[in-house]
Amino acid sequence: MRVTPSNLNLRGTTLIYSRIAGTGSYLPEKVVTNADLEKLVDTSDEWIASRTGIRERRMAAEGETTGDLAFYAATHALEAAGTKASELDLIVLGTTTPDIIFPSTACLLQHRLGANGCAAFDVNAACSGFMYALGIADQFIRTGQVKKALVVGAETLTRMIDWSDRSTCVLFGDGAGAVVLEASAEPGILTTKLHADGAYKHLLYNPVGVSAGFRDEPNHGVRVIMGGSEVFKVAVRTLDRIVGETLEAAGMQEKDVDWLIPHQANLRIIEATAKRLGLSMDRVIVTIDRHGNTSSGSVPLALDEAVRSGKVKRGQTLLLEAFGGGLTWSSALLKY
Ligand code: UT7
């Protein structure tokens, strides 16, 4: 018999789950519409909307950092959970756009929140950053080492975009989302799945860095390079696989899922995953039209919006998934 949380019966042992106690998010004020981008590159609202589903995205103000976005999202999540920052045992933050090289944005956030002393670190898994952070925090809680964890996905992707490259500059936006996880006897996160395949590095990457060196180019050569249509195909294939793997690990079926909360990279990828699950689009949380692709911020932003709008309710089953540079892909099945 396959072992699942429900049939694993350890006599005298209480299973510990991690449960989402509260969610929060933050979007910068400045809205950049497709019409704004028509003035920058040879593109059109029609092309962007029909190929991606994006109509507008947010852009951080000058001087506004990933850490700022993370702070506001985290503050909202802590408020929603009724948790004081000083109660946190762990902060894990997914980002590819940290404020500075070190200390980690998680450490900067920890100090700003007043959670000094707890473990705090960043995870770089590109667009899967929040999902990886969630999977890691879940493991810490399940083993009993941590009782309360703050998990954040935060990005200022617009800072690493080549604004003359129409194939990437229309896609990305800035934003952050966060959840407070707490130990619970009730489920909770049922399973998380994390994958990567570095053989696909060339399909989505930023070519410069500290050790590889920066370049004598605009913005020191910092830019996103993506083989869009190849990434698209791998994304559809791997997400198709991982949702099946995730349901099987939890002993559940497609019909048990109340809401799909997917990474917001392309509406056509989201629709393919929904179709694979047999879910109509009114059971899928879509924010890409207003947020664009906020990388690590995308899933927790969508989750928080769905919770605050009243769509997602306590006790419902949520399937979260993400896909990004690495390539990485990841998922979580949980009872909210
Ligand atoms: O979050 C991380 C993971 N990322 C993803 O999952 C992204 C996956 N990929 C995609 O979402 C899509 O591949 C894109 C939206 C990036 C591109 O859509 P596509 O339908 O795959 O287009 P394409 O790259 O095959 O390009 C089709 C045409 C090309 O012109 P030609 O060669 O057919 O004449 C491009 O030059 O569209 C052109 N094009 C544009 N045209 C107007 C590319 N970007 C633009 C643009 N505006 N912004």
Tell me the per-residue pLDDT of 277-323, one tens digit each, with 9 for 90 and over: 999 999 999 999 999 999 999 999 999 999 999 999 999 999 999 99
Query: Does the annotation count 202 as an active-site position?
Result: no
Per-residue confidence band for 12, with pLDDT thresholds at 50, 70 and 90:
low
Residues forming beta bridges with residue 335, ordered by sequence position: 317
| The dihedral formed by the CA atoms of 59, 65, 70 and 76, expressed in degrees to the nearest 10 | -70
Q: Are 22 and 82 in contact (CB under 8 A)?
A: yes
**Cα→Cα distances 304→35, 157, 301, Å:** 28, 20, 5
Q: Which pLDDT does position 14 carry in this prediction?
A: 72
| Of 171, 178, 3, 197, residue with least CA distance to 74 | 178
Q: Could you confirm whether 293 is annotated as catalytic? A: yes
- Examine the residue annotation and report whether 111 is marked as an active-site residue of this protein: no
**pLDDT tens-digit map of 80-102:** 999 999 999 999 999 999 999 99
pLDDT at 3: 47
Q: From 229, 230, 273, 293, give the residue whose CB has the most ligand 1 atoms within 8 Å, as the site to mutate.
A: 229
Residue of 155, 167, 327 with the most ligand 1 atoms within 8 Å of its CB, for mutation = 167
Query: What are the extents of the domains in the chain?
Result: 5-187, 190-335
Ligand 1 in contact with 228 (CB < 6 A)? yes
Percent of the chain with pLDDT over 90: 96
CATH of the domain spanning 5-187: 3.40.47.10
Question: Whose Cα sits closest to atom 48 in ligand 1?
Answer: 166
Residue 83: predicted pLDDT: 98
Domains 5-187 and 190-335 in one fold: yes
pTM to 2 decimal places: 0.95
- Residue 2's pLDDT band (boundaries 50, 70, 90)? low
For residue 270, name the pLDDT band (cuts at 50, 70, 90).
Answer: very high
Tens of pLDDT, residues 133-164? 999 999 999 999 999 999 999 999 999 999 99
The highest-level CATH class for domain 190-335 is alpha beta
Cα dihedral 308, 309, 310, 313 sign: negative
Atom of ligand 1 nearest to the CA of 167: 44
Ligand 1 near 205 CB (within 6 A): no
Cβ-contact 127, 133 below 8 angstroms: no
| Maximum Cα interatomic distance, the chain, rounded to a whole number of Å | 66
User: What is the number of alpha carbons within 13 Å of residue 46 lying toward its C-beta?
Assistant: 1
